[in-house]
Structure 1
């Protein structure tokens, strides 16, 4: 059994390690995290049975961590150890299922008693979960699939819909008296790895388990039927013909049953009520749109009504509207220039700031939907493509192919259907910009040494009016980069280097006695012979005339 200690003070983590009798509780692995964000990553990867956590941390607070554990790692037990005797913190701990709230300084007896209770509760629930899972698997093996093809035909096969309904009536799957219905879609995702592992990687078995749990609540009371919809991507649909009951209450009971068995809660897209079966195709579109437009920042809302639901649907529970806030949704165009400058800068700080600003704006505006995320991701990838083509020209196709291949190995920022994290979106944005910046920089370095090429360019174009801005733009580097490199490699600044090149060229031309100083000055890029003489004397130590005289002798 594993335990995780979360506190931003190392001395507190050490004290907890020393005070708890881990062997007595049969805990053989103790992990540590310095903040809530780090803890979430460890919980995802290590699945500890117990988390002992602080409430006030600089990065990822205890309340945020508790909320996340309750939502996405409900089988993990946690104990709060805090230096704040705050009733609201205690209330939050109780609300999210915490075992105990212990005040610092920590007493050995108190924390060991709390750990003992947490371990006992975890073992009891783990045994119950295993028992329910065994029951669910047996149920999937022996329970017939309820005419899924016939039920799907009611939605997407107009030609055979009437014949399918007659068969469903005869088989008593749908009562002949049904005149009106709602269609509900259950948000599922075959890529949900934690849930899929419970079924040995068998996504079909996962779908059937969810269907059967839904039908346990629907069919006993003759309210409707859940089934695997075969008309498109993998979906679970519910035809609900008891349209008088509160949909929110029914879905809440179903979701609680799913959670007890699978430790996951699902999201439900709900259509308006309409004539059965004629309105089913339009109702499926409504339900799918409701899921696409659900507000991902409202983690505790699981019932999502389509905009067409109007007052009837929304009156069931206005909190589920996920309506927009006072500000318009954020567009990628609003941050595109920030991203571009961060990528070109090549600095981790600038890239991190751009990703953080983007996430902050999403959180501040209060609405993030799957529909928005799909659009933002597409815009971000288009931005990447344009920047690569702008910077690399003919080389861009191979670079873009490499980046797209790397995309397949990186986590998607889009919600899995069960969860969404602004932190994950921030990390994805940061990774995309950083990888793009590093790729462009590496490709430029591979093709040429920037400073070698810049010096070569100056040697070839010294008579022209060269500016730092012009050279930086030509070689896709910043002005600061060029200035810094000239100081490091040549010990002088950019303009002084150009001046030294011009003077060296002038010294060579002075060996030709037929050239006047004014001609030489113009030929090496000085348009004022007096200024040329001043610079020459400063660099060489004598005037051009004296230098020429010395050369003749």
Structure 2
């Protein structure tokens, strides 16, 4: 701490210096002034926490010094040392914040007690000031969040919108007499990697910079306010008081400011102006729709209104996506790269011819491609879909959603979208080709197993367990490969082997049946007749006649 002794008598100043135990009170620096005028100059530079002063001085009256300290250095504590036991002086000292009034000659105990009291008081008040400063800092940190919460609730919480509007009017953020406003939305380009890098990939800082620039134009001319919508990440909402005819001009000015500062411009979607606060949720929906339906082939148009956007954006648009899926399926099955590229390009070529590509259509395209992928995998792989896709052998074939361009990007690249689509379709083609190869190998192994074990009691469940596949898989693949189900294939193989054995005259019918895997000769005869149209005995007799 620092202290200043003010008295026009040097001996009094010397006495104070000697009588006060400065170290005990934590006071490290002590200076002197011979009058009030000199004291004021020293206080401006030295900024003492304690002033010990005389009331009657030739250069600057003590009362004048107290008044100046009270006005310009109100945190400073002072002790009056005077030779006059005057009630008016005491009252003046107390009124101006003096801690104590000591009469000359100075008593050591009295002045040390007064100094201790002054120091303790200053430290207590300093702690309170520090707490208040910290509270103010926190309030300043939370106030923007509080304001954003109130402003966002105008959109997201109609039930509390009237109350929020009243608070915002009291805060001065929305003019008291304003009854109508227009809401606009802007979203920062998610594909602008250079801009993200410039802000250290700190999305909050990036958004803060854009909002500040918008508010430089809005608040300066009392035309509106920009804020972060807490319900939409990387989303800026503008409430504008200007009339509709001035909004386009205002957006142009804001974008010019953004370009000068950040070399970027924003696309704004606007709702239809309406009364506060009840029209804002509808305006927000309209503004979002306007952004989703903006034509990406016109990148220099930055103002978008829902009511003038294309209805579903084109006659071709979304309705044609489903028609393409049969072509996608044929292209995937063909495993022909050129055919896959042609199938992936067709929709984009048509949309470019019509002159309309929008984020809404790109989102629909992306969803259609991914739905086709999932559906086709399920159709082809069936119950094996999950296990095969998890298999490391297929990891590199799994081109999926994370690789897709973002529909919300400010720039549209036909080639990026086609490349992604080709990647998905080509990945499917490779996946199915490998699966078919694996299927053929599996079926070949099953057939070989049957040839080696047909004499045993083989059931469909045994085959499935032997080759770690399902019964349904075996049945389906036998049907696809041989045109008959598994049980018919096994029966046919056994009967063909039985026909060879029946040429041996020494083997009885019972022996033949058992040798080819039938334990019941009657059942053997039934199956034989079903396949050959003759009973085993009739077949054997016909063979004898032919020989």
Q: Deviations over 1:266-285 (max 9, x none)?
A: 21110111112221111111
In structure 1, the residue matched to 2:413 is 421
Is 1:370 paired with 2:359?
yes
Partner of 2:341, secondary structure, is helix
CA distance in 1 between counterparts of 2:230 and 2:409 reads: 19
Q: Is the 8 A contact 1:298 1:322 kept in 2?
A: no
In structure 2, the residue matched to 1:391 is 380
Q: CA deviation at 1:210?
A: 0.9
Q: Is the 8 A contact 2:312 2:318 kept in 1?
A: no
Partner of 1:150, secondary structure, is helix
Aligned residues: 346
Distance 1:256 1:457, change over 3 A: farther
Distance 1:391 1:211, change over 3 A: same
CA distance in 2 between counterparts of 1:323 and 1:451 reads: 49
Q: Is the 8 A contact 1:185 1:287 kept in 2?
A: yes
Match runs of 1:124-203 below 5 Å: 145=144, 147-188=147-188, 192-203=192-203
Partner of 2:403, secondary structure, is coil
Partner of 2:426, secondary structure, is helix
Q: CA deviation at 1:408?
A: 6.5
CA distance in 1 between counterparts of 2:250 and 2:313 reads: 26
Partner of 1:210, secondary structure, is helix
Q: Deviations over 1:305-355 (max 9, x none)?
A: 012xxxxxx5xxxxx768845656553212101110111111212211211
Q: Is the 8 A contact 1:270 1:304 kept in 2?
A: yes
Distance 1:299 1:189, change over 3 A: closer
CA distance in 2 between counterparts of 1:363 and 1:475 reads: 47
Q: CA deviation at 1:426?
A: 0.6
Q: Is the 8 A contact 1:304 1:321 kept in 2?
A: no
Structure 2 unmatched runs, 5+: 1-139, 453-475, 482-495, 507-528, 534-545
Partner of 2:381, secondary structure, is helix
Q: Is the 8 A contact 1:258 1:265 kept in 2?
A: yes
Q: Deviations over 1:104-136 (max 9, x none)?
A: xxxxxxxxxxxxxxxxxxxxxxxxxxxxxxxxx
Is 1:332 paired with 2:324?
no
Q: Is the 8 A contact 2:359 2:408 kept in 1?
A: no
Q: Is the 8 A contact 1:219 1:225 kept in 2?
A: yes
User: Structure 1 stretch 410-419 or stretch 340-349: which is displaced more?
Assistant: 410-419
In structure 1, the residue matched to 2:125 is none
CA distance in 2 between counterparts of 1:196 and 1:202 reads: 7
Q: Is the 8 A contact 1:450 1:475 kept in 2?
A: no
Normalising by structure 2, we get a TM-score of: 0.53
Q: Is the 8 A contact 1:199 1:206 kept in 2?
A: yes
Q: Is the 8 A contact 2:378 2:385 kept in 1?
A: yes
In structure 1, the residue matched to 2:338 is 349
CA distance in 1 between counterparts of 2:282 and 2:395 reads: 36
Partner of 1:286, secondary structure, is helix
Distance 1:398 1:213, change over 3 A: farther
Q: Deviations over 1:199-244 (max 9, x none)?
A: 1010000111111111122122111111001134442100011125
In structure 1, the residue matched to 2:136 is none
Q: Is the 8 A contact 2:363 2:407 kept in 1?
A: no
Distance 1:238 1:457, change over 3 A: farther
Q: Deviations over 1:168-227 (max 9, x none)?
A: 223322211212111000023556433211110100001111111111221221111110
Q: CA deviation at 1:142?
A: 11
Normalising by structure 1, we get a TM-score of: 0.52
Partner of 1:331, secondary structure, is helix
Partner of 1:335, secondary structure, is helix
Is 1:358 paired with 2:364?
no
CA distance in 2 between counterparts of 1:367 and 1:224 reads: 33
CA distance in 1 between counterparts of 2:348 and 2:180 reads: 43
CA distance in 2 between counterparts of 1:273 and 1:171 reads: 23
Q: CA deviation at 1:381?
A: 1.5
Q: Is the 8 A contact 2:185 2:237 kept in 1?
A: yes
Partner of 2:227, secondary structure, is strand
CA distance in 2 between counterparts of 1:346 and 1:453 reads: 26
In structure 1, the residue matched to 2:285 is 285
Partner of 1:183, secondary structure, is strand
Structure 1 unmatched runs, 5+: 1-140, 308-313, 315-319, 461-472, 479-503, 515-522, 528-547
